[in-house]
Amino acid sequence: MTRDTFSAPPVGWAVQIAALGYYLPERIVTNAELEESLQLKSGWIARVTGVEERRYASPDETSLFMAKQAAERALASAGLTLADIDLIVGASAAIPQMIPCSAALLQRELGGQDGASFCFDINATCLSFLVALHTIAPLLSTGVYRRALIFSSENRSYSLNPDEPESATLIGDAAVAVIVTATPAAQSSCLHHARFATFGSGANFTQLRGGGTRHHPNDPTTLPEMNYFQMNGPAVYRMAATVLPPFLDNFLTAVGWERAELEAVIPHQASGHGVRYIAARCGFSPEQVIFNLPKRGNCVAASLPLALAEAVESRRIRRGNRLLLTGTGAGLTIGAIALTW
């Protein structure tokens, strides 16, 4: 973690998350329900994962349906219509289909005018939202695009492996959308710095092997279990515990911020142990760390923006606050964004 690129001076972009919207499936799934169906001891799920309940999407609550609800709420909150958006970015791990991109499907679902917006997807699993925000920030701050809609919509409950109870009981479904613009005059919103790093030796720790060319659905050697989500939680935790603290040390040094100056730290809600680790080992107080995992579970790419949206909704986060958004994703990838809300 001593490479020069990690200590390079940040280049800030004057962009603002102008509005947020989110959607939660109607069905609440309790630990008692899962412990009975998976034949687990009472209290096992809360102790191992930190989750108390999560939402599961119904067959009618497709990822596109959830994305549409979240996007419409974000647009309404911003006082905009889709005609005001010229960039749509999908930032999800669970996509409706391989081709075309989910953003194009959402443009159509929302009734968008042909040719009025550019659409593309970014898939960095749990860090998809952060990577998308980092990617479009210079495009908006320099005026290439006026307003962007980023959405993360996850209904991973359909691909959970009942033989892997830790991950099967950890994941929840949700969708989040945000409107991003150049920062209005006289406001302080800014994306100050972003940094990501991948440690490919951990690539097998989190995976879904099916669906691609390696294990094609039409290949007779493709097994049903290849289409299940797999995660070696302890291995992810051990690697993250090694690489994340020095990464964040270098990151905050580059930004020039002290930990005490942060109003909030919004981590990817990986697990109860993972979020508590952010506070204990990385030098943040429990009061700084936004934690919604007990009621939402790990919502994959929607997890971090959902925690952000709920914190903004409750006014835990206000304009002018200094925020650190950070987490891990498959790869194993770690990342962070420093921004003034």
Specify the pTM.
0.92
190 classed as catalytic: no
204 classed as catalytic: no
Q: Note the pLDDT of residue 116.
A: 96
Residues 6+ apart with CB under 8 A from 303: 126, 174, 268, 269, 270, 296, 327
Q: Distance from first CA to last CA of the chain, Å, rounded?
A: 28
Q: Note the pLDDT of residue 227.
A: 65
Q: Note the pLDDT of residue 232.
A: 75
Select which of 31, 123, 250, 298 is catalytic. Answer: 298
Average pLDDT per block of 10 residues along the chain, 341 residues long = 47 94 98 96 96 97 97 98 98 90 98 97 96 98 97 87 89 97 94 94 72 72 68 78 92 96 96 87 94 97 98 98 94 94 98
Q: Note the pLDDT of residue 57.
A: 97
Largest CA distance in the chain: 61
Select which of 268, 282, 292, 299 is catalytic. Answer: 268
Please compute, for residue 139, the number of CA atoms within 13 A of its CA located in the half-sphere on the CB side. Answer: 16
Select which of 126, 190, 282, 299 is catalytic. Answer: 126
Q: Note the pLDDT of residue 136.
A: 98
227 classed as catalytic: no
Angle between helices 128-141 and 303-313 (to 10 degrees): 70
Q: Note the pLDDT of residue 219.
A: 72
Residues facing residue 338 across a β-bridge: 193, 324
**Domains in the chain: ranges and CATH:** 4-10+189-340 (3.40.47.10), 15-182 (3.40.47.10)
